[in-house]
Amino acid sequence: MEETGTRSGGRQRATLRTVAQATGLAITTVSRALAKDPRIAAQTRELVAEAARAQGYVPDRAAQRLRTGRTKVVQLLLSLDHEFLGFTHDLLGGLTDALQGTGYSVTLFPDVMHADRMTAVRTIVENRLGDGIVFNRTEPFDPRVRYLTEQGFPFVSHGRTEFTTPHPWVDYDNEAFARAAVARLAYKGRSRILMILPQDRFTFAQHLRYGLVAACRERGLTWETPEAVSLSTPATEVAAFLRQRLAAPDAPDGVVCVGEVAAIACLSAMADLHLHPGRQLDVVAKRASAIFDLLRPTVDTVFEDLWEAGRAMGRTLLRSMQGEAADALHVLQAPKIEFKTHP
Report in angstroms how near the CB of residue 35 gets to DNA at its nearest: 6
Q: Which does 295 bind (CB under 5 to 8 A by kind): DNA, its own copies, none?
A: its own copies
Closest alpha carbon to 280 in 243, 302, 251, 257: 251
Residue 56 engages its own copies in binding (rule: CB under 8 A) = yes
**Cβ atoms of 107 and 130 closer than 8 Å:** yes
Nearer to its own copies, 235 or 317 (CB): 235
Closest alpha carbon to 300 in 221, 173, 187, 176: 187
- CB-side exposure of 88: number of CA atoms within 13 Å? 9
Q: Which does 332 bind (CB under 5 to 8 A by kind): DNA, its own copies, none?
A: none
Residue 105 engages its own copies in binding (rule: CB under 8 A) = yes
C-alpha to C-alpha distance for 207 and 180, rounded to whole angstroms: 13
Residue 103 engages its own copies in binding (rule: CB under 8 A) = no
Q: Which does 17 bind (CB under 5 to 8 A by kind): DNA, its own copies, none?
A: DNA
C-alpha to C-alpha distance for 64 and 267, rounded to whole angstroms: 54
C-alpha to C-alpha distance for 110 and 84, rounded to whole angstroms: 17
Q: Which does 32 bind (CB under 5 to 8 A by kind): its own copies, DNA, none?
A: DNA
C-alpha to C-alpha distance for 148 and 153, rounded to whole angstroms: 5
Residue 15 engages its own copies in binding (rule: CB under 8 A) = no
Can you list the positions of beta strands (E) in the chain? 73-78, 105-110, 132-135, 155-158, 169-172, 192-195, 222-224, 254-257, 282-287, 300-303, 330-333, 336-337
Touching DNA, residues 27-66 (CB under 7 A) = 27-29, 31-32, 34-35, 39-41, 43-44, 57, 59-60, 63-64, 66
Interface positions with DNA (CB under 7 A): 13, 15-17, 24-29, 31-32, 34-35, 39-41, 43-44, 57, 59-60, 63-64, 66-68
Interface positions with its own copies (CB under 8 A): 1-2, 4-5, 7-9, 56, 58, 60-63, 65-66, 69, 71, 73, 78, 80, 83, 85-89, 92-93, 96-97, 100, 105-110, 112, 125-129, 151-152, 234-236, 239, 261, 264-265, 267-268, 271-272, 290-291, 293-297, 323
